[in-house]
Amino acid sequence: MTRYYIGLSVTYHDPALAIINNQGEVLFAEATERYLQNKRALHCPADPLFWVQELLTRYCPHPDQITIAINWRKHRPLYENVVAALGCLTAPGLLKTGIKKLRSPLNNYQLHHMIASQRNQIASAGINLVRVIRECYPECKLEFADFSHHLTHAATACYSSPFSEAACAVIDSFGEQGSMAFYEYQNGSLKCLFESKGTGSIGFYYMKITELCGFDWLKGEEWKVMGLAPYGRLNVRLYDLLQTTISVDGFVCQHAGKNLFSSLQQLEQFKRNSQDSIELAADLAFTGQYFFAELMTRLLLHLQQITGQKNLVLGGGCALNSAYNGQIKNRTGFNKVFIPSAPADDGTALGAAWLALYRHQSKVSKPLQALSPYLGTTISDQSINQLIQFNKALDIQHLPKSICETVAKLLAEGQLIGWIQGRAEYGPRALGNRSILADPRQPEIKDKINQSIKFRESFRPFAPSVLHEYATDFFEYYHESPYMDKTLKIKDEMRQKIAAVCHVDGTGRLQTVKVQWNPRFYQLIQNFFQITGIPMLLNTSFNVMGKPMVHSLEDALAVFFTTGLDALVINDYLIRKSSHE
């Protein structure tokens, strides 16, 4: 019997789709925002109708049975059902007065909007997929599965890790009952140690900090807080006030009681107004990040004490905080820390698919190596040949034997390169297959990319992608960061040598590059190393601010033509805007 498992992340933000076979092999996984070219794909289905047709044809030929699994329980919590019955989850219902204020840093209307959005997505989950399967494969049997949201996070993180056993922490804004869950993972088995209940949430806390800084958490701009924080200093008065809003005791995270709302009101005095300089929010960002790190450390220390484990697997939206991730080894008892390439909600599509498989086949073995992040779509040579045929204005060279060597020379000359190779990355970070690349030695490169390509704030940093063999020469207390998931200190004597990827506090959110993980990207950096003596490149995602990473050839060309990119590389093809001698 040919059987496939299709996982859907049907969260109202960051939907995604993943496909595995009955051996647990990942055939495909990608966030839906890429196909739609709609950042975060808010309120969009995880399974757009025409995209699903393409994916089924390519990855699920001749299926006898397909299981569709989602990342939320269809049976909804009591509070949610009560407020739905009261009409609070409708558009007029968001305006209702007289409803008790929830103990949370967010307003009731914001929380109820999130709940309503989530219910709508769960109710329509998989409807496009079922229609396409019925039309394309009428004899295929269909099954459905739904899982606890935090369990799908844990499954993604643990099953994609290189560990046979580990402690697992899932920390985000909210799930079915609360914002966190903790597990012990052993040989494919996940044992829940604790699952929180109530509105206490480190994720909600960080969303509030994002809002106070003048950014929009609904757009996912928590990244900006991390980028801005190193420009600020600890504000003791603000720190003391933050401590009165949220606390952690063991695994219990809760917001303060009767004093919460007065504390939140006092926080408003620190809020950045639209006319204020961004620098005025720097102390707020620093203090907010500082307290976030304290809260996370308390939780992880307790988890390590309870489990005795030396391996940590971290999932959930808070696992995207690379600034803290790089500190975990030094601040806790964990020796090894693994964060999947897609720790946030887009990653739970894969967790749901794996859980459905293990429900049927508990003896499926997991390879003891980290999952490759290169699981998405490709751009074919055929589409580039069509470009060559119908567009005579571009200088397009086919360089199958020398593409890495040629591009390394261009990078060493200071050119900015759009670099597309193979399958797209699963997760929010470009890891050498959908990247914009540059020379990390030149300090002016950072501003040039922010101003002429990304069109974003000047305080936003860029990542160093470094060959693993040489990483200890550049980073203090180096440990592997395969998915650009950890920020580490750059050694003092190296900071000027790689100024474009050294943040204001002397750190870099690095990507470890090994030849077995990405041979072509490794070769490109190796060629650049031979020219410059620097075994790394500046790496940032191939997009402009507010848009997802490019998905198709047309997306890539749109960015190429409307930004300051000097050249575009797709597979073995070098594309430039005008002829060069």
Give 460's contacts (C-beta < 8 A, 6+ positions apart). Answer: 223, 224, 227, 450, 454
Task: From residue 28, give the alpha-carbon distance in Å to each of 144, 189, 223, 285, 512.
Answer: 19, 24, 27, 37, 23
Share of the chain above pLDDT 70, in %: 99
Q: What is the mean pLDDT of residues 4-28?
A: 97
Contact 547, 37 (CB under 8 A): yes
d(CA 46, CA 20): 16
Dihedral of CA atoms 71, 75, 77, 83 in degrees, nearest 10, equals 110
Task: Give the residue ranges of DSSP H helices in 282-380.
Answer: 282-307, 322-325, 328-331, 348-360
pLDDT of 580 > 60? The answer is no
pLDDT, position 536: 98
Provide the strand spans (E) within 405-515. Answer: 417-420, 434-438, 463-467, 486-489, 507-513
Contact 296, 332 (CB under 8 A): no
Q: What CATH homologous superfamily does 202-338 map to?
A: ATPase, nucleotide binding domain (3.30.420.40)
Domain assignments of the chain as residue spans, ordered by start = 3-72+125-160+344-360, 202-338, 381-576
Domain 3-72+125-160+344-360 identical in fold to domain 202-338: yes
- Tell which CATH architecture fits domain 381-576: Alpha-Beta Complex (3.90)
Q: What is the DSSP string of 506-562?
A: SEEEEEEE-TTT-HHHHHHHHHHHHHHS--EEEEEESS-TTSPPP-SHHHHHHHHHH
Question: Lowest-confidence range among 169-178, 217-226, 504-513, 571-580?
Answer: 571-580
User: What confidence tens digit (pLDDT) does each residue in 431-474 have?
Assistant: 999 999 999 999 999 999 999 999 888 898 999 999 999 999 99
Q: Which two tokens stand for residue 262?
A: 């007065």
Of the candidates 214, 226, 211, the one whose C-alpha atom is nearest the C-alpha of residue 106 is 211
d(CA 498, CA 535): 10
pLDDT, position 579: 57
Question: What mean pLDDT is reported for the chain?
Answer: 95
**Bridge pairing between strands 246-249 and 252-255:** antiparallel
pLDDT, position 128: 98
Provide the whole-model pTM: 0.96
User: What confidence tens digit (pLDDT) does each residue in 22-52 have?
Assistant: 999 999 999 999 999 999 999 999 999 999 9
pLDDT-based confidence at residue 581 (cuts at 50, 70, 90): very low
Provide the strand spans (E) within 32-86. Answer: 65-70
Query: CA angle, corner 553, sides to 58 and 460, nearest 5?
Result: 110
Q: Could you give phi then psi for residue 338, rounded to 5 degrees?
A: -120, 130
Contact 11, 72 (CB under 8 A): yes
Of the candidates 35, 460, 563, 31, the one whose C-alpha atom is nearest the C-alpha of residue 221 is 460
pLDDT of 187 > 90? The answer is no
Contact 191, 168 (CB under 8 A): no
pLDDT-based confidence at residue 361 (cuts at 50, 70, 90): confident
The total of other beta-carbon atoms located within 10 Å of residue 417's CB is 22
- Tell which CATH architecture fits domain 3-72+125-160+344-360: 2-Layer Sandwich (3.30)
d(CA 8, CA 307): 31
Greater model confidence, 548 or 392: 548
pLDDT, position 159: 96
pLDDT, position 382: 95
User: What confidence tens digit (pLDDT) does each residue in 317-349 have?
Assistant: 999 999 999 999 999 999 999 999 999 999 999
Q: What is the mean pLDDT of residues 206-217?
A: 95
